[in-house]
Amino acid sequence: MSRKRIYVAYTGGTIGMQHSEQGFVPVPGFLTDTVKKMPEFYRSEMPEFDIHEYHPVIDSSDMTPEHWRHIAEDIQQHYLNYDGFVVLHGTDTMAYTASALSFMLENLQKPVIITGSQIPLAQMRSDGQVNLLNALYLAANYPIAEVALFFNNQLFRGNRATKADASGFNAFASPNFPPLLEAGIHINLIAGQLNQTIDADPLTLASVVPQPISVVTLYPGISTDVIRNMTTAPVRALIIKSFGVGNAPQRPELLQILSDASARGLIIVNCTQCFKGKVNMQGYATGNALKQSGVISGYDMTLEATLTKLHYLLSKPLNPDAIRQQMQQDLRGELTAD
């Protein structure tokens, strides 16, 4: 039986950086050279793999929808020649890219795993070796046909993951959905489903273009002027990070601003600012008032999933009502509806 082939796209990030007098810096070819010096990657149990380093590499803080498109196109161009894909990425915006790719890659039937590290691969005690080894092994032997994020022995659904620790190895969490898989002493499939067959329908790529989207976190005493300014042109959507299960002040002037903006076609999504949980605008009068003003529920979506899903839908030729409807539907496993 022939070994599986995995395509590795090194987009940038800590995992491939080299130490210098100025600190850690990206150096072309350094990641590939580092991997070649590590025999663990070339054991007989491991798949064959090819590393493609982006030039220039992208600092994840500089990531844009154009970069999402470039990564998605890279996967599409190599889709027929490989059994799975690993994307090496900086951790700061890794969950945004994972969410975006989950919407952009339509009819995905092969695993796409995004990973990286908190310490460069070439350094002592790097988490990069375990993360990359596992990502390659899982892509070949546990083919879960969706965009996933692997970190610290857990494989998360990409559009359910969020960065939870700025400096720890357990950098990512999936607060509202169980891991797809856990790679401990034994590899345990949890919420993931293995895909053993591939049908004839090709992978298609949904175009995503940059969209003017506002995000506001509510706080006690927030000014209505702040909200008004975040709903003015050219803004096409507003994400409100509300209190608790979706509550907000009931000030009439605030509700009127939201109602007027919604009537103009603005998509206003209510997401909880809590780390875990789900918006329920029926639960309290304060949440119900938002619903009456045209605000829709973000259910239990992460901010990353909400933002990238809005990019995906706003890039399509859909009217506001159709976008509102699809925002509240489960398209890629990103939300738990009522």
Contact 247, 286 (CB under 8 A): yes
Residue 159 has pLDDT above 80, yes or no: yes
pLDDT (0 to 100) of residue 23: 85
Say which of 14, 162, 231, 302 is annotated catalytic: 14
Crossing angle, helix 65-77 and helix 94-104, to 10 degrees?
60
Total Cβ atoms within 10 A of residue 155: 30
pLDDT (0 to 100) of residue 144: 98
The C-alpha atoms of residue 137 and residue 296 are separated, in whole angstroms, by: 40
Please, which pLDDT band fits residue 197 given cuts at 50, 70 and 90? confident
Based on the residue annotation, tell me whether 14 is a catalytic residue of this protein. Answer: yes
The C-alpha atoms of residue 174 and residue 170 are separated, in whole angstroms, by: 11
The C-alpha atoms of residue 27 and residue 10 are separated, in whole angstroms, by: 12
Please, which pLDDT band fits residue 76 given cuts at 50, 70 and 90? very high
Q: What is the pLDDT of residues 118-156, one digit of tens each?
A: 999 999 999 999 999 999 999 999 999 999 999 999 999
pLDDT (0 to 100) of residue 1: 66
Helix (H) or strand (E) holding 333: none
Mean pLDDT of 38-49: 97
The C-alpha atoms of residue 307 and residue 214 are separated, in whole angstroms, by: 9
Please, which pLDDT band fits residue 338 given cuts at 50, 70 and 90? confident
Q: What is the CA radius of gyration of the chain?
A: 21
Q: What is the pLDDT of residues 306-330, one digit of tens each?
A: 999 999 999 999 999 999 999 999 9
Based on the residue annotation, tell me whether 91 is a catalytic residue of this protein. Answer: yes
Backbone angles phi and psi of 247, in degrees to 5: -95, 155
pLDDT (0 to 100) of residue 14: 94
Look up residue 308 and give its amino acid.
T
Crossing angle, helix 252-263 and helix 285-292, to 10 degrees?
30
| E-strand stretches of the chain | 5-10, 17-20, 23-26, 48-53, 84-88, 105-106, 112-115, 147-151, 154-157, 162-163, 172-173, 181-183, 187-189, 204-205, 213-217, 237-242, 267-272, 296-297
Say which of 11, 34, 64, 91 is annotated catalytic: 91
